[in-house]
Amino acid sequence: MAEHPKGVRFEEIENLLDTHIGPLFPDYNHHGNPHHAFTVGGQTFNISKPHAGCVKKPYIMNFLDVMAMIDLYDPESN
């Protein structure tokens, strides 16, 4: 995602969060439509689900920032 932030589909992020990351955090929450709010590790961020195509780059960058804040992503590792 970090290497190609313009090529990420909403379903990829949703699956990653709901299936893999969410179970690690007791405060995990996902709600909304078409603007989805996710809470992970005390951090809440929004991702707007596009009608077609990929999620806009600012949403991906915000997602990566939150993942870095909760120590699930290291921007230096790229």
**pTM for this structure?**
0.91
For 5-24, the pLDDT digits (tens) are: 999 999 999 999 999 999 99
Owning domain of residue 60: 5-77
Report which of 47, 28, 48 is spatially closest to residue 39, judged by C-alpha positions: 28
pLDDT band with cut points at 50, 70 and 90 for residue 33: confident
pLDDT > 70 fraction of the chain, expressed in percent and rounded: 99
* Interval 37-70: pLDDT, tens: 999 999 999 999 999 999 999 999 999 999 999 9
Smallest Cα–Cα separation from 63: which of 41, 46, 42? 46
Question: In total, how many domains does the chain have?
Answer: 1
Environment class of 8 (CB within 10 Å of its CB; exposed 0-12, middle 13-18, buried 19+): buried
Whether pLDDT at 78 is above 80: no
Q: What are the E-state strand segments in 1-78?
A: 29-31, 35-40, 43-48
In angstroms, rounded to a whole number, what is the distance separating the alpha carbons of residues 10 and 7? Answer: 10
